[in-house]
Structure 1
Amino acid sequence: MNACPFCDPETLEIETMLENRFCRFLQQPDKVLSGAGVIIPKRHCETRHEMDFDEWDAMQELLNQVKAFITTSHKPLGYTIGWNCGAVSGVVIHHVHMHVIPRLTNEPIKEQIQFSLKPTTADRFGN
């Protein structure tokens, strides 16, 4: 089993942009999704349901700081904020993380992001 990249001290040192007592905001240099990152709890949790109330509150608090940080540095027109929970959702890193993606009108992959967030079928609803 591979070590968790969100628990790796070297990764955390390079990618941590903001943090509070229980959570961190990580960003990787990325020319396609400039400004995007993830908020993670410092304690290794595989799902949101393993987080305690302090971690949950700290994540919300940090999200507000992240929004201010990204708004100042990238001036987006909006945000996509979301979670993938469980293997069927496409989780690759099994350390709970909230995606924070600043959105612009001239994004090179706008349609790909929107498509990936839309369900491909609605079978469970009888359609």
Structure 2
Amino acid sequence: MAAPDASCPFCTLPTSRIIMGNDVALVIRDAFPVSPGHTLVMPRRHVGSFFALEARERDGLLDLVDQARRELDMALKPASYNIGINDGPAAGQTVPHLHVHLIPRYLGDQPDPRGGVRWIFPEWADYWSAQAAPARS
């Protein structure tokens, strides 16, 4: 197992931030939420990529995603969720400790939420309307 990284904000979390956990992963609320209830699920081991997880870690991480969703369903009753991982700097990862974003979505929180995460490239996001971007070559 990799040792905690003293410079990593997720390896040095105060226990007061932890909402729930298991032997391989833990859950916190995002410090800069994009919606009410925005939650992060992360491995306890300092690892940067989802693809570097051991099978047991992946299972434990996804189990906590399910548990966190159930808790958010009961507490906040969102209509939907965005679930995402920024895996690597080119994907927008700013903290090099893997974390899954569980983002509750609410009816009316955006005028037109279609396309979801596709909007990271706005010119390719709208593929359903008459003004849709042309196919990539």
Provide structure 1 residue ranges, at least 5 long, that are not aligned to the other structure.
none
* Partner SS, residue 71 of structure 1: helix
Matching residue of 2:64: 62
Give the equivalent residue in structure 2 for 1:5: 9
Any residues of structure 2 matched to 1:1-127 within 5 Å, and which?
A: 3-10=7-14, 13-28=15-30, 33-107=35-109, 110=110, 117-118=117-118, 119-121=121-123, 125-126=136-137
Aligned length: 121
1:30-58 deviation digits (Å, cap 9, x = unpaired): 67511011110000001111110000000
Q: After superposition, what is the alpha-carbon deviation per residue over 1:42-99, rounded to whole angstroms, capped at 9, x for unaligned? A: 0000111111000000011111111110001100011100111111111110001110
Q: Please identify which structure carries the higher helix content.
A: 1
**Bigger relative contact order (CA 8 A; separation at least 6):** 1
Alpha-carbon offset, residue 124 of structure 1? 9.7
Identical-residue share of aligned pairs (%):
23
Q: Which amino acid aligns with 2:90?
A: V
Q: Say if 1:90 and 1:29 are closer, same or farther in 2 by CA, change over 3 A.
A: closer
Please tell me whether Structure 1 or Structure 2 has the larger radius of gyration of its CA atoms.
2
Where does structure 2 lack aligned partners over 5 or more consecutive residues? 1-5, 125-133
Instruction: Quote the Cα distance in structure 2 between the aligned partners of 1:114 and 1:85.
Output: 23
Structural RMSD (CA): 2.7
Give TM-score scaled by structure 1 length. 0.81
Q: TM-score, normalised by structure 2?
A: 0.76
- In structure 2, the CA distance between the partners of 1:88 and 1:64, relative to structure 1 (3 Å rule), is same
